[in-house]
A and B are shown apart, each in its own frame.
Chain A
Amino acid sequence: MPTVKFTSNLKRFYPNLTPLKVEGETVAEALDQVELNHSGLKDYIVDENGVLRKHVNIFIGNNMIKDRQSLADKLSETDEMYIMQALSGG
């Protein structure tokens, strides 16, 4: 099962957030599993159309995902998926 890891900045809103093993063959499916475990968290990562928020990045291993629109990038059993914030603002 792939593992989802989160930027520590999300702990401000979800203090109990820890790496999570999920069912799912794509990033979108993994996020649905995240939502089942942490209600409302998906909304911090994607908008209501499922599009990755502008200043959020998702990596699979060291590679940034390619599909920010529908999050169709594939996950394998051993993948680690990282939800990170992009650098922005001041």
Chain B
Amino acid sequence: MAQNILLLGTRKGLITYGKNASGNWEYDNAQFLGIPVTIASYDEVTGTWWALLDHGHWGCKLHRSKDGKNWEELEAPKYPDGEEIKDGIAASTKLLWAFSNGGADRPGTLYVGTEPGGLFKSTDNGDSFELVRGLWDHPSRKGQWFGGGRDHPGIHSILVDPADSDHIFIAVSCAGMFETTDGGLTWNVRNKGLRADYLPDPASEYGQDPHLIDWCKSNTGVMWQQNHCGIFRTEDAGANWEDITDFNGPANFGFAVAAHETDPNVAWVVPGVSDVNRIAVDQSLCVCRTDDGGKTWQDFRNGLPQGTAFDITYRHALALQGEELAFGTTTGNLYHSVDAGETWKSLSSNLPMVHSVEFITV
């Protein structure tokens, strides 16, 4: 019988919640105790669980499991000899920051995005990885990509087109969004319409800072981007971005964004104050939703702390499944909604810092 699981990557381990017979989420267990889990994920194509670890001392590690209980350590993606982040700075894997399968028609194909900016591909379900050269060798990388909040540029978003597994988008902080239509051989930047207020030229072709990209799964030309400088939406797969930031409301700065799976006009964000003041707006947690493609935003607060909160929600820590949402925060809160984000219930206020949240069915 299928199990519904809420899968969390946290600063102190991989944590699961299970849905009980009454339909309520209950704490299930924790693994990799004490070890930072950057992303916990499940590949429904192969039925494999994945844990991307960032040991404080021992480097980044990659683990997989067939049952979510017994784990196998694999060699994490490594940069080939002689590769450089910048001239004279040797490349090494600093963080495993994004994970995706390679499409339903390619079981065992995986992508892992890393800091310092390399995308890695496996075609043997993680037994080995190769650097995706087309992106790493992009002429903009050495000179026009840079770190934002971390020392080096990092890939945090990977979207593989459900209709064409050679059609992939990735997003880099800081560089922007890139698209390939040939399985990664060549990549084109897709930043037109974005705004980088921290650059001399805010409309710069590169150096944009998407915090996360998502798309409407049934209409993938419609994409959403929570950016360092606001919120953006495109209806033409990134050829042109439109600024949909709410300059008079909270829907502005943040990290996470979730796009409705079938309605291209609906998306959610979890805002913070600003890049220099990373706390909840007015010390009050809210989730903002637009139902009209970003023309207007509503903020929902029912069940969320008001006036007493410091939480930020990281980019991978907002999850969506139909009308059901969950998000985890930097201060260890986990919230859940069954009504498209309009009312919320706390599942825990005692978790470690939450890095990633996913709904999975196994």
Contact = CB atoms under 8 A, between A and B. Distances in A.
B57 A86 contact: yes
Contact of A48 (B58, B73, B78): B78
Contact of B57 (A47, A48, A53): A53
A55 B57 contact: yes
Interface string B71-91: 001011011010000000011
Contacts of A86: 57
Interface residues of A, number: 18
Interface string A40-56: 10011101110101011
Given A40-B73, A43-B75, A51 B56 contact: no
Nearest to A46: B59
Q: Main SS of the interface on chain A?
A: loop
B92 A43 contact: no
A44 B90 CA distance: 18
A15 interface: no
Contacts of A45: 58
B65 interface: no
A49 B56 contact: no
B89 to A, nearest CB: 10
B205 to A, nearest CB: 31
A49 B75 contact: no
A88 interface: yes
B200 to A, nearest CB: 33
A10 B93 CA distance: 20
Of the candidates B55, B58, B78, B90, the one having the most CB atoms from chain A within 10 angstroms of its own CB is B58
A49 B90 contact: yes
Interface in A56-90: 56, 85-86, 88-89
Nearest to A88: B56
Of the candidates A47, A48, A51, A55, the one having the most CB atoms from chain B within 10 angstroms of its own CB is A48
A85 B57 contact: yes
Nearest to A9: B57
Contact of B90 (A40, A51, A56): A51
Given A40-B73, A43-B75, A56 B93 contact: no
Given A43-B75, A48-B79, A56 B92 contact: no
Contacts of A44: 55, 57-59
Interface in B46-60: 55-59
A53 B58 contact: yes
A45 B59 CA distance: 8
A89 B56 contact: yes
A88 B79 CA distance: 26
A50 B85 CA distance: 16
Contact of B92 (A49, A55, A88): A49
A43 B53 CA distance: 14
A55 B60 CA distance: 13
A55 B56 contact: yes
A23 B73 CA distance: 28
Given A53-B58, A88-B56, A47 B73 contact: no
B58 A56 contact: yes
Contacts of A9: 57
A88 B56 CA distance: 8
A44 B73 CA distance: 12
Nearest to A85: B57
A75 B60 CA distance: 29
Q: Which 8 residue pairs spanning A and B have beta carbons closest together?
A: A47-B92, A44-B58, A48-B78, A55-B57, A89-B56, A85-B57, A49-B90, A48-B92
Interface of A: 9-10, 13, 40, 43-45, 47-49, 51, 53, 55-56, 85-86, 88-89
8 contacts: A40-B73, A40-B75, A44-B57, A45-B58, A48-B92, A48-B93, A55-B56, A88-B56
Given A43-B76, A47-B92, A55-B56, 4 more contacts: A48-B78, A48-B92, A53-B58, A53-B59
